[in-house]
Amino acid sequence: MAQIQDQEDLNIFLEELNENLSYLDTAIISLEKNPEDKDTLEEIFRVAHTVKGNAGFLDLKNLVELGHSMESVFQEFHKGSLAVTHDVIDTLLACKDTISTIGSALAEDTDPSSIATAALVKKLNSYVEKGLAAGTLSESSSNIDETSLNEIETKIEYIPGTTLLRVWISPNEPAPSVRAFLLQNKIAQFGEIMMAEPGEEELESHEFSISDRELLFYIRTELDPEEIPDHINVDLIERIEVLSEEELKRRFERASQAGNASEEFNRTVKEDLSVQDTVRIPVERLDVLLNLVGELVIANSGLLQVQEMAKSKPELAEIDRQLKDRVKEIFRISADVQELVMKSRLVPISQIFNRFKRFVRDYSSRSEKDIELIIAGDETEIDKKIIDEMIKPMTHIVRNAVDHGLETIEEREAAGKNPTGTLKLNAFQEGNYINVVIEDDGRGIDVEKVVQKAVAAGILKKEDAKNISIEDARNLIFHSGLSTKEVVDDLSGRGIGMDIVKRSIEVLNGTLDIDTEKGRGTKVIIKLPLTLAIINALIVVVGDEKFSVPMASIVETQKVSTDNILMIEGSEMLRLRNSLVPLIRLEKIFELKRSTPLNSKVLPVIIVEYNETLVGILVDQFQTRHEMVIKSLSEHYRPVEGISGASILGDGEIILILDVHGIIQLYKGNTSEKSTRILFQRKDPLTNKVIAEEPEAKGSPEKPDEDPEQNPEENNKSVEQQLESENTNDLPAEKSASVDEITNLTQTENTGKQQPVNETETGETNMPENKPDTSQSAIDAMIAAAKAGTLETNEEHDDGALSFHKEEFREESLRKLQTLFDAENRELLKDWMRQGNARAIQGIQAMTGSLNIKIDRSKGKHISIEKVQKLLDKIENGPQEVIDFALPINPLEGGVHFILTRKNALKIVRLLMRQANLPEPDEIDYEPIMEVTNILGSAYTNSLTQITEVPVEPGVPEIIEGRENLLETMQKIVASQPFEILYVENQFTWENEDISAELLILIPEIKI
């Protein structure tokens, strides 16, 4: 049960379960009539097997057990050793009903584990035993054991060249992910993890649950298998099993053979069912394969070098010739393998489309709408990863269409339309792209109204609105300022979240366009690359470096005369036809060095589009276009701004892929130079050693002639202003300066190099007076800075990598949190309270021993300002003096307030001290209660993060005696004039101790 966290997964499971159950119902009955019908038997076996398999995935033990027993009964039927009697059929139907009950329990979010299945299982097993006794196959008694063995062993994969570590975590660890991270870290010290189960993504999302105690690591290491456990010194590990490559292979083969030999029935089923000879391969394994191909190419380029060496020696001419042919051949084979692997990642888009069949049917029957779903081109294939990423945005678009776009039968009739509305999903391939079209014939979007709203919201100037083109007007729908609920509510909600949908498509290197006509309908056109792993890119040269630029980001390429480069308000601008576009020099952004100065009068420029605005990127030279496989940088380095990954060219050369959006951000000066540092520590493909290149201290050697004195800081600013009109959400930049400073210093220290601080590039003007000399150690510098008072007492800055640095990320996060205020959907709030309360109680219980603590009252609601005023009065005139322990929730405005009377505070303190075997004080010691506040606060922030996936974090608690703090907090909230306040009131009581305390969570409505 613990694994069911994703509502969407659960929904799919239930949807499938329902389909399977309705099949079972009719099939079991028809089996009674035709017991000899092998086709039905086989299909019924398969369905029971699927139910069992899915249940296992969700860890529904009773359902797995039931499914398994049903399977065994069908197996006996098939063998002919058990007769299909009325009695058995009755039992099977009862099983089906029980499964149905389990499904309903899941749907209603109640615990299905209490639903009894044992009696049915026992009954089924007795039939199976009867069948076995009838004994047509004597060896079948071992069948079940072998089957379960087979199931265990099939968890194991065989990956050539790897050793498998199976690690079991002790049940005493409440958070297994801690162990997983520790193990990852330890293993990385002596080997390379090729694949792990659970994988990195699963670990970082919150899906890694308490029940997953077994971890699998497929590693490559120089160590002998028996040495490995000694290198893993991690606490709370119960057992480690190491399977060498040979052992792994043997077990894997044995498992598949055992599977074949014992599951004779299974095999016949499979053979009959398989029209094609197909196997399922986990995508991760294909990823590993793809990486291995890349490494093959690198290894081969090593051979190429050997050949080069041979070339220079006449006596080795024959070897040179032979080697040359072989190297060529290996390159060719590698390319073929690469293509094949890429193709194997493609799956039909019906995987998404089919999800909507049921959704639309159900929606039609529930609402006063009649909707016909037309699906076309669902066999079109696309990369599995893209499919996964597309589910959310597609669902959003389809929901928009059926909820808001399509009208009710009545409305359609009134408008003279066919009463049945149509929703059409279509997909087709076009070159290396897949087009996905979602089209409805509903009411469309009133673009004029959007324009009016944009003017009202201050996004569009009134005079501009008059001359706006239809296209520009449509694009307003994607404006984040318009996509908020209040603004577009009466625009039939079509715009809600469209900016986020669009962005999520763009992350996949795709594009999204919308075509709509009032009264006629809306068409959303999504264009996606065939695969995420391969891009079509242009290779460019800048200085001594090569980069590749994804073709998807390029609008056009130009060779421009230097006469067309102008200096405007300190920024270089390019005259392009009738307009001016900002010009970016990559060598400045990345501090590239240049061994030969550039003296050309004609310069190649790549024109890219950013937020509907053109930007030019200056390069030295265009080279060829290439299809390249993207390798993520994150395995080796922390994310580098401006670089989305790397690729290996056919000759083994490593080339970095530019992230155009990131580059523009860098250009705008939002980031310090920290990210560019790591860029130039790359691994030599042959030696695997880090090649450190010292970036030049100052920007490019050649400055624009027009204005050599120009201060680059000025440059950044004015361009930022120019771009600002396109991007409305800038955070104050000066706040992060001290953090960057620290990070820079850390890196200086880690790389053992001195990095000159390039003030002009970063615009760090608020450095402390006693600015640390870079020769000082980082610690001294930090201490000095702290003493000078410039290191703010600020959590989110300190552990800044975790926090809300990125403005885009911040905005998206806040948007997610905003759903807490969704009046129509209180589920999120309820979930939060449920989880938070559970964790809070657990936390305090653990802290205070086995105390009888409970929550008497837990209310979460939205209250208006007037109510707050009343609340204030109540607090102000309350009978007792209270203490408020306040804990901010970053990055929200509000916080958690643990409020209790002085008397109760003392009681809690004494309780805690007693628990810790410490002397009980006679006066209130605040620290124990601060700790309780910390635990409570973490309980609610952790749950909020888990539910919304937004990293909110508790700040440092603060105490103010009396009511002042709370009053002040509330008054502040009132002064910020939100529409409403999320107000949570939980009352904790320690039953036997006669203590009670209030916990308030106050969050003013989130404004973005």
Partner 1 sequence: MAGNTRVFIVDDSGYMRQVIRKHLENKGYEIIGEAQDGLEAIQKYQELKPDITTMDISMKKVGGIEATKKIKAIDPNARIIIVSALGESRFIKEAIQAGAHDFIIKPFAEERLISSIANALKS
Which residue of 515, 795, 980, 993 would you call a contact of partner 1, by CB under 8 A? 795
Shortest distance, position 916 Cβ to partner 1, whole Å: 4
Q: How far apart (Å, rounded) are the C-alpha atoms in residues 186 and 166?
A: 14
User: What are the b/e assignments for 956-994, b being 16+ CB within 10 Å?
Assistant: ebebeeebebbbebbeebbeeebebbbbbbbebbbeebe
Tokens of 429: 């391939």
Which residue of 488, 871, 935, 973 would you call a contact of partner 1, by CB under 8 A? 935
Minimum CB distance to partner 1 smaller for 422 or for 743: 743
Q: How far apart (Å, rounded) are the C-alpha atoms in residues 301 and 650?
A: 9
Shortest distance, position 109 Cβ to partner 1, whole Å: 24
Phi, psi (degrees; rounded to nearest 5) at 603: -120, 135
Return the residues of window 938-957 that contact partner 1 according to CB under 8 A. Answer: 938, 942, 945-946, 951, 953-956
Instruction: Find all residues with CB under 8 Å of 339, minimum gap 6, and list them.
Output: none
Minimum CB distance to partner 1 smaller for 320 or for 795: 795
817 binds partner 1 (CB under 8 A): no
Minimum CB distance to partner 1 smaller for 717 or for 834: 834
Q: How many residues does the structure list for the chain?
A: 1008
Q: How far apart (Å, rounded) are the C-alpha atoms in residues 896 and 955?
A: 10
Beta carbons within 10 angstroms of residue 470's beta carbon? 11
Minimum CB distance to partner 1 smaller for 188 or for 555: 188
917 binds partner 1 (CB under 8 A): yes
Q: Is 59 left (phi over 0), alpha (psi -120 to 50) or beta?
A: left
838 binds partner 1 (CB under 8 A): no
Shortest distance, position 563 Cβ to partner 1, whole Å: 51
Q: Where are the alpha helices (DSSP H) in 372-469?
A: 384-400, 409-414, 447-456, 462-467
Shortest distance, position 902 Cβ to partner 1, whole Å: 18
Minimum CB distance to partner 1 smaller for 198 or for 259: 198
788 binds partner 1 (CB under 8 A): no
The amino acid occupying position 879 is: P
3-state secondary structure of 658: strand
Shortest distance, position 934 Cβ to partner 1, whole Å: 5
742 binds partner 1 (CB under 8 A): yes
Contact 959, 884 (CB under 8 A): yes
What angle (nearest 5°) sits at the alpha carbon of residue 943, between those of residues 941 and 944?
A: 65
**How would you classify the pairing of strands 433-440 and 511-517?**
unpaired
847 binds partner 1 (CB under 8 A): yes
3-state secondary structure of 642: coil
2 binds partner 1 (CB under 8 A): no
Half-sphere exposure of 479 (CA within 13 A, CB side): 23
927 binds partner 1 (CB under 8 A): yes
278 binds partner 1 (CB under 8 A): no
**Site size for partner 1 (CB under 8 A):** 58
500 binds partner 1 (CB under 8 A): no
**How would you classify the pairing of strands 565-568 and 571-576?**
antiparallel
Which residue of 528, 912, 947, 966 would you call a contact of partner 1, by CB under 8 A? 912
Tokens of 556: 């056009």
Shortest distance, position 484 Cβ to partner 1, whole Å: 28
886 binds partner 1 (CB under 8 A): no
Tokens of 997: 């305390």
Return the residues of window 162-191 that contact partner 1 according to CB under 8 A. Answer: 172, 174-175, 177-178, 181-182, 184-185
Binding mask 212-251 for partner 1 (x = CB under 8 A): ---------------------xxxx---------------
Minimum CB distance to partner 1 smaller for 333 or for 956: 956
Q: Which stretch binds partner 1 (CB under 8 A): 367-375, 404-412, 765-773, 936-944?
A: 936-944
Shortest distance, position 2 Cβ to partner 1, whole Å: 15
730 binds partner 1 (CB under 8 A): no
Q: Which stretch binds partner 1 (CB under 8 A): 69-77, 444-452, 477-485, 937-945?
A: 937-945
Tokens of 412: 């359609």
Q: Which stretch binds partner 1 (CB under 8 A): 131-139, 215-223, 380-388, 928-936?
A: 928-936
Tokens of 923: 């006066």
Closest CA to 807 of 894, 747, 735: 735
Minimum CB distance to partner 1 smaller for 704 or for 800: 800
3-state secondary structure of 286: helix
Minimum CB distance to partner 1 smaller for 102 or for 791: 791
Shortest distance, position 173 Cβ to partner 1, whole Å: 9
Shortest distance, position 779 Cβ to partner 1, whole Å: 5
Tokens of 675: 């990210």
Shortest distance, position 180 Cβ to partner 1, whole Å: 9
**How would you classify the pairing of strands 420-430 and 370-376?**
parallel
Contact 642, 535 (CB under 8 A): no
Minimum CB distance to partner 1 smaller for 234 or for 299: 234
Shortest distance, position 177 Cβ to partner 1, whole Å: 5
Shortest distance, position 231 Cβ to partner 1, whole Å: 10
Tokens of 573: 């601008």
Shortest distance, position 801 Cβ to partner 1, whole Å: 7
Q: Is 820 left (phi over 0), alpha (psi -120 to 50) or beta?
A: alpha
836 binds partner 1 (CB under 8 A): no
597 binds partner 1 (CB under 8 A): no
Tokens of 7: 């509502």
Shortest distance, position 786 Cβ to partner 1, whole Å: 5
Half-sphere exposure of 510 (CA within 13 A, CB side): 28
3-state secondary structure of 820: helix
Minimum CB distance to partner 1 smaller for 299 or for 913: 913
754 binds partner 1 (CB under 8 A): no
Return the residues of window 639-698 that contact partner 1 according to CB under 8 A. Answer: none
Q: How far apart (Å, rounded) are the C-alpha atoms in residues 625 and 536?
A: 7
Shortest distance, position 637 Cβ to partner 1, whole Å: 13
Closest CA to 626 of 532, 550, 542: 550
550 binds partner 1 (CB under 8 A): no
Binding mask 187-216 for partner 1 (x = CB under 8 A): ----------------xxxx-x--------
Instruction: Find all residues with CB under 8 Å of 874, minimum gap 6, and list them.
Output: none
Shortest distance, position 36 Cβ to partner 1, whole Å: 55
611 binds partner 1 (CB under 8 A): no
Shortest distance, position 352 Cβ to partner 1, whole Å: 28
Tokens of 922: 């006679």
Whether omega before 198 lies within 30 degrees of 0, making that bond cis, reads yes
Shortest distance, position 883 Cβ to partner 1, whole Å: 15
Minimum CB distance to partner 1 smaller for 241 or for 798: 798
Closest CA to 985 of 862, 814, 839, 835: 862
Closest CA to 979 of 813, 863, 829: 863
Minimum CB distance to partner 1 smaller for 29 or for 916: 916
What is the DSSP annotation of 683-740?
E-TTT-PEEE----SSS-SS--TT-TT--HHHHHHHHHHHHHTT---PPPSGGGHHHH
Q: Which residues bind partner 1 (CB under 8 A)?
A: 172, 174-175, 177-178, 181-182, 184-185, 203-206, 208, 233-236, 742, 746, 749-750, 778-779, 782-783, 786, 791, 793, 795, 798-799, 801-802, 843, 846-847, 912, 916-918, 925, 927-928, 930-931, 934-935, 937-938, 942, 945-946, 951, 953-956
